[in-house]
Structure 1
C-alpha cells in the first residue's frame, strides 16, 4: 500500500462528512491525516483528541492537520498538541490555498464569512450515497450550543450551484443527502429568498435522474406548507424526517431558547404520520439540561412515544464554555448520565418494536459497502445477500437481528 495518501477522519455531523470529501480531493497524493473535528459536546472534543493521538500512533510520519468546529473554536489548544502539525479553520479547509500554505495555524473569524458553496467533491467514492452542503452556519443562539462559533452565521448555496453539483453526483449515486448546520433556514440570504421547499422542488424537477433524495436534520418550526407537502407526497423524497427537538418540556425548551413548544413537536409528527404513515421519525434529545427536574425529564422521556421516535440521537448535557446554559444551575453529572441512559434504553425499546413491525414488509434498499447491507427509505439498516454496491433493490424483510432488519 502506498504511504502517500490522504486520510480523512470525520467526527460528528454529515456536513463534516460532505466537507471531508472536498478535503480528500484537495489533498490527492499527500501523505496527510486530517482530523475533521466536532465541538457539539465536551465528549465530542475529547473524542477528537483521542482520534488525533490514535492517528499519530498509526502513521507517525504523516503530516497531521486538525480542522472542523473544535479547531475553529479553540485553535490554540489543538496547535499545542505535540501530535499536530497544523490547524486549519472551517472556512479555510475548503480552499486549495490553505493546504499549500505553511502557517501552523490558519483560522479566520468565522463570523465574517458570508458565502458558502457546494465545493469540489465530484464523487463520494467510499459511500453509496453522496452528501451535498446547501447551507452552513446558524443565526440562532440556543443557550447550550457552541456550534455557531465554529460555523458562523447562516449562509446558503444558490440553487443553480446545488443543482449542477447534484446532477453530476447523480450519475454515480442513486441517493443524495442535503446537509447543513440549520438546513431549514436555507434561503433568506439569497436573491428572492427561496425556501428549502423551493430548493427541493427545483432539484427534483431539474435532476430527473436522481432516484432518492434525503434531508438531514430539520427544525420542525420552520417546516412550511411547501416542504410539508414534499415530505408527505413526493416519493423520491425518502420517508424519514429527523427533527431537532432537544427536549419535551416547555420550560426546558424556553431555557434552551428553542422556538417551538412540546405541542408544536407532537402536532407536527401527528400531521406527518397522518399524511404519510410510513415516515420514520428521528430526533435529537438532550438529557440533564440545567434546571431539569424529574418531572421535566419525564416529559422528554414521554416524547419518545408521543412523537413515535425510532431514530433517537441522545446526548447527555455538556456545559460548553461561554454559552448561557453553562452559567445556569447544573444537574449533577451522575444524574445527567443516568437520565441519558434511561432515554437510550426507552428509545431502543421503541425502535425494536418498530423494527419488528416491519417483518413481512417490502423495502427498497440502497446497497452499501461491502454489498451485503444497506438502508431502507425509512433509514432502517438491512442485511441482505451480496449484490452490487450502489444499486437499489426491493427485498422482503424476514427477521430482526441485533437491531438490523434481515432480508
Structure 2
C-alpha cells in the first residue's frame, strides 16, 4: 500500500524533471558545471568523483520480493488488511481451481488426440487471478500463452475456451489459430501470437494510444523471462519509456525458458533490474502469493496512469508443468525439483492453507469444488467437439476489408479444385 501512497510524490517530482528535460530540447544553452556535479545532454545532472571506480552490479543488493503471505498460508508479521473478505477470497480460490481443471482436462485431451496442442499454467494460477484484479477490465492486454486465467476473470466462458481449442465454427478466431491462442475484442484481450515477444513493441504503441486517448487506461503486456532475451523486449521497453506511455510490463519469471534454466539465461539480477536502464520503476513480487500479485499490479497500474510512464513487474514463480504438450521437462529437470517447488510454492495450496486457517475451507468443500469445476470443463469440451469446423471459405475472409481481392479469389478457386481432385484427403465437413 505504501507503493500507492508514494506515487503522488513521485509524480510531482517527475513533473519538474520532465519540464527540465523538455526545455533542454527547445533551448540551446551552455553546459553548466560545478566542482561537485555537471550537466549533460538531456538535462541530466551527474555527480563528479576523483575515485576511479567501476560500477559492478554484483556488489549491489538484489531487488527484494514483495510478499504478503508465506508458504504456510499465514500473513507475514506486520501485514494487515489482506484476505479479510471471505467471499472475495473464496472466489479467487475457486477461480484458481477452475484454471487448474481447465489445464488438466485439456492437457489430457491433447494426449488423447482430441486437440493438437496445449500449454498449462500449473504453478502460476495466482498470477492470472491477482493480475486480473489489479487491472481494470477495459485495460487492453497483450498476453503470451499462460494468461488464460486473466481472460477467464474478464468473463470469457469455458465454452469459448473449448471452442477455440477445438477450432470449431464458434471459435472467435474461425479456426485460424493454434489452441490456447485466445483473443477477444469484447474483453480487450488481443489475440495471442506464436512468435515470441512480438507483443512488447505492440503494447508500447497501444500504451501511447491510451495516453493520447486520455481516459485513464493503461496497456498490460505479459511475457516470460525467456522472452526478455529477445530483441523485441528492448525495443518495446525503450519505445514505451521514451514515449512516456502508460504500459505495465509484466514478466512471469518461472525458472525456465522451455528447457533453459535462468542460470543459463542471464547474469544480472533477474529481469526487473533491467527496468532501471530504461528509466522505469519496477517491483518484484512473489508470484505464488495472490494477495501480493493483486496489490503490486494495482499499484503499478495506478502509477503508470497517474504518471504517464511504463512500470515493470516481475513475478517470481515456478513452472510446475511441461512447457507445452511438445515438451518433456523431465529431460532437463528432476522429479525431486518439481516436487519441492510444488510443495513450497504452489499458489493453490498456499491460498487453501490460508482459508483453512480461517475456518473457511475443508476437505469436503475442496472435493465438491473440484468436482463441479471438472464437470463444467468436461461439458464445455464435449459440446465443442460436436460442433463442425469453420467453413473453408474462412481461410480467405477478413484479410482485407470489403470485397475479396482477385488474387485471394483465385487461390480459393485453386484450393477447391485441388480438394475436389483428392476427396480422400479432405473428408471433413466444411474443410
Fold in common (TM above 0.5): no
The normalised TM-score by structure 1 is: 0.31
Relative to its length, the structure with more helix (as a share) is: 2
TM (norm. structure 2) is: 0.30
Q: Which has the higher strand share?
A: 1
Larger Rg: 2
